[in-house]
């Protein structure tokens, strides 16, 4: 019995000691867990300053990312580049996680592209700014175009444009302010960049509107080139500003402004500046040197400001001249009406030699025929008559440019001279007229319809091997096929073309 009591007493002492040890171990474990937990929170979960500068949802996204499994986090870390490396990657617009959703805007100041961040060890680092956007586009083999926004200064007589920007490295180009950069009779404009205003001419006139620098040299004066080289490119470049833009012009031709004043007044509300006779330093916040150009008398809506198209251009010129007709006659709705046919007659080469015969044939098909041509400067007086017509026909030449004033769904009929000029003719007027929502018909004359037979025997290479003439170059080809050739139209062979035009108007 005494032995039993002794054993019981000893066992109770052992259990008490075990319990004390267990309690002590438990307390130590709790304390150790607490310190470990605090240490992990401090290092891994506390947002740094770089994360904290973004929007609330960005911080939340980053906090959620910390809850990913450790193995996934390690995989991400292995593929993640440093912030400084991402700055130099043109395909990335991010500098830190916090700026991942932010994109640069036109209103950003230059110093806003510099990012200051703090690493976890407290060291401050400064990120490098991304490279400046190029201001000049030389990708088109036909044209050159520069665009600058900011501190831009244009010095008149030297034809010099300076773009002052700390983001730009010093550079200089000679730009042709015309859509054919191979022209040799046009003075180029100097465009250069400067990182500071030191050594740059001071502004004498400050403007708040954009400016466009272009020339009235080149082929200005030819009706077709007036449109394809200047008026259409000027529309693409200036129309987006709704008149709030100024034209800075070299090689000014006052008659040209008078001839197309209705169009010019719709593109700008400001007087143009004659750069050749100005010693002022003009300062504009947005300057373009040269004109936008896609192709001859064509607009690519995917590349044009505001998605402009050829129909936008023809609608614009009809509005500029207050032309009433938007659509051609519908013979389906008005079967008793006579469609009006404009016969474009030329005074020089490529003229019709049998106009009365052509007129009689067209009238026999129930056309009302108009046989007129515009005087050199009277565009406004002629385009109203053009707009009243439903069909226009003529030999390949500048007069067909008047299709831009036709109402939509009208028909353009181009007579293509001999020999193998179809590709050139279609490029010049076929594609542009179809893009303007006109119907297009093409008639290729035979050798018998060409007056070249009066100059060369039928077995001459001019007829038997036209490509041998084309390979001699544009000047030799033009001299024969465009300058020496007139057309005696075979009215019986041509009649189905005008019948087809009538059918198109019945749709």
Segment 72-121, tens digit of pLDDT = 443 444 333 333 333 233 333 322 233 333 333 333 333 333 444 455 55
Are 118 and 141 within one domain? no
Please tell me the pTM assigned to this model.
Answer: 0.74
**Contact yes or no for 318/260 (Cβ under 8 A):** no
On whether the CB atoms of residues 58 and 100 are closer than 8 A, the answer is yes
213 in a domain, yes or no?
yes
| 16 found inside a domain | no
Q: Answer yes or no: are the C-beta atoms of 432 and 411 closer than 8 Å.
A: no
Quote the tokens at residue 474. Answer: 């544009």
402 and 489 assigned to the same domain: yes
330 shares a domain with 449? yes
Shared domain check, 299 and 401: no
Listing DSSP states for 148-196 in one string gives EEEEEEEETTTTEEEEE-TTSPPEEEEE-SSS-TT-SSS--EEEEEESS
> Cα 308 vs. chain centroid, distance in angstroms?
9
**Which tokens sit at 26?**
């438990």
Last residue of a domain, one of 126, 154, 170: 126
Residues 286 and 382 in one domain: no
Q: Which residue's entry shows tokens 């080139």?
A: 225
In a domain, 20, yes or no: no
Give the whole-angstrom CA distance, residue 191 versus residue 291. 15
Domain membership of residue 13 (yes or no) is no
pLDDT at 37 over 50: no
- Do residues 150 and 254 both lie within one domain? yes
- Round to whole Å and give the CA distance between 98 and 56: 10
212 and 359 together in one domain = no
Average pLDDT taken over every residue of the chain: 81
What is the per-residue pLDDT across 256-277, written as a single tens digit (0 to 9) for each? Answer: 999 999 999 999 999 999 999 9
94 & 146 share domain: no
pLDDT of residue 64: 36
Boundary (domain end) residue, out of 106, 126, 146: 126
Residue 69 confidence (pLDDT) above 60: no
Q: Summarize pLDDT for 276-298 with one digit per residue, the tens.
A: 999 999 999 999 999 999 999 99
Number of domains in the chain: 3
- What per-residue confidence (pLDDT) applies to 87? 28
Least confident of 85-99, 459-473, 481-495: 85-99
**pLDDT tens figures, 362-391:** 999 999 999 876 666 678 889 999 999 999
Which tokens belong to 66? 């910390």
Structure tokens, 191: 């465009």
Considering the domain architecture, whether residues 299 and 334 belong to the same structural domain is answered as no
- Quick: pLDDT tens for 384-397: 999 999 999 999 99
Within 10 A of 494 (CB to CB), how many other CB atoms are there? 19
In a shared domain, residues 191 and 252: yes
User: Distances in Å between the alpha carbon of 103 and those of 62, 92, 106, 128?
Assistant: 19, 11, 10, 16
Distance CA 136, CA 173 (A): 9
115 lies in a domain?
yes
Banded pLDDT at 507 (limits 50, 70, 90): confident
What pLDDT does residue 4 have?
45
Within its chain, how far is the Cα of 63 from the centroid? 43
- Which of 280, 308, 336 is the endpoint of a domain? 308
The DSSP H or E segment spanning 211 is strand 211-215
Residue 470 pLDDT > 60: yes
Q: Is the pLDDT of residue 52 over 60?
A: no
Q: DSSP H helical segments within 272-421, as ranges?
A: 310-320, 355-364, 379-387
What is the CATH classification number for the domain harbouring 344?
Answer: 3.40.50
CB burial of 138-168 (b: ≥16 within 10 Å; e: otherwise) equals eeeeebbbbbbbbbbbbbbeebbbbbbbeeb
- What is the share, in percent, of the chain residues with pLDDT greater than 90? 66
**Confidence grade of residue 348 (pLDDT, cut at 50, 70, 90):** confident
pLDDT in tens, 229-252: 999 999 999 999 999 999 999 999
Determine the pLDDT at residue 168: 85
Residues 417 and 492 occupy one common structural domain: yes
**Does residue 10 belong to any structural domain of this protein?**
no
Does the residue 342 lie in any domain?
Answer: yes
Residues 160, 100, single domain; the answer is no
- The reply to whether 39 falls in a domain is no
pLDDT of residue 132: 64
pLDDT at 274: 97
Confidence of residue 326 (pLDDT cuts 50, 70, 90): very high
> Looking at residue 316, what is its pLDDT?
98
pLDDT of residue 32: 52
Q: Which residues contact 68 (CB under 8 A, 6 or more apart)?
A: 76
Residue-number span of the structural domain to which 286 is assigned = 136-308
- According to the model, what pLDDT value does residue 372 have? 74
């Amino acid at each position: 019995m005494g032995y039993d009591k002794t054993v019981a007493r000893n066992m109770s002492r052992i259990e008490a000691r075990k319990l004390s040890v267990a309690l002590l171990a438990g307390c130590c474990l709790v304390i150790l867990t607490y310190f470990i937990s605090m240490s992990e929170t401090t290092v891994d979960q506390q947002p740094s300053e770089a994360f904290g500068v973004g929007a609330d949802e960005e911080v939340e996204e980053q906090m959620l990312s910390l809850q990913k499994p450790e193995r996934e986090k390690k995989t991400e870390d292995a593929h993640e580049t440093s912030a400084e490396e991402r700055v130099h990657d043109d395909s990335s617009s991010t500098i830190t996680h916090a700026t991942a959703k932010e994109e640069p805007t036109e209103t950003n100041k230059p110093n806003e592209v510099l990012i200051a961040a703090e690493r976890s060890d407290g060291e401050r680092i400064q990120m490098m700014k991304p490279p400046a956007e190029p201001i000049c586009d030389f990708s088109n083999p036909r044209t050159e175009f520069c665009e600058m926004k900011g501190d831009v200064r244009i010095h008149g007589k030297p034809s010099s444009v300076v773009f002052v920007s700390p983001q730009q490295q010093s550079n200089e180009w000679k730009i042709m302010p015309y859509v054919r950069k191979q022209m040799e009779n046009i003075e180029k404009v100097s465009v250069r960049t400067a990182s500071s205003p030191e050594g740059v001419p001071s502004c004498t006139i400050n403007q708040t509107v954009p400016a466009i620098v272009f020339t009235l040299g080149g082929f200005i004066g030819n009706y077709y080139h007036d449109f394809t080289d200047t008026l259409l490119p000027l529309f693409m470049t200036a129309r987006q500003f709704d008149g709030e833009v100024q034209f800075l012009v070299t090689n000014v031709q006052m008659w040209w402004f008078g001839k197309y004043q209705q169009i010019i007044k719709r593109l700008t509300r400001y007087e143009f500046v004659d750069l050749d006779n100005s010693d002022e330093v003009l300062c504009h916040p947005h300057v373009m040197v040269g004109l936008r150009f896609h192709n001859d008398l064509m607009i690519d809506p995917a590349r044009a400001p505001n998605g402009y198209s050829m129909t936008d251009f023809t609608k614009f010129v009809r509005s500029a001249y207050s032309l009433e007709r938007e659509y051609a006659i519908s013979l389906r709705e008005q079967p008793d009406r006579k469609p009006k046919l404009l016969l474009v007659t030329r005074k020089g080469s490529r003229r019709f030699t049998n106009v009365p015969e052509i007129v009689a044939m067209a009238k026999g098909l129930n056309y009302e025929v108009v046989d007129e041509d515009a005087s050199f400067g009277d565009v406004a007086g002629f385009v109203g008559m053009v707009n009243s017509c439903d069909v226009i026909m003529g030999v390949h030449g500048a007069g067909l440019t008047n299709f831009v004033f036709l109402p939509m769904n009208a028909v353009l009929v181009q007579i293509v001279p001999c020999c193998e000029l179809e590709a050139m003719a279609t490029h010049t007027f076929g594609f542009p007229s179809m893009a303007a929502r006109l119907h297009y018909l093409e008639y290729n004359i035979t050798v018998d319809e060409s007056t070249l037979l009066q100059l060369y025997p039928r077995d001459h290479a001019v007829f038997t091997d036209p490509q041998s003439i084309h390979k001699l170059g544009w000047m030799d080809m033009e001299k024969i096929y465009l300058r020496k050739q007139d057309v005696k139209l075979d009215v019986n062979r041509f009649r189905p073309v005008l019948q087809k035009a009538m059918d198109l108007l019945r749709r």
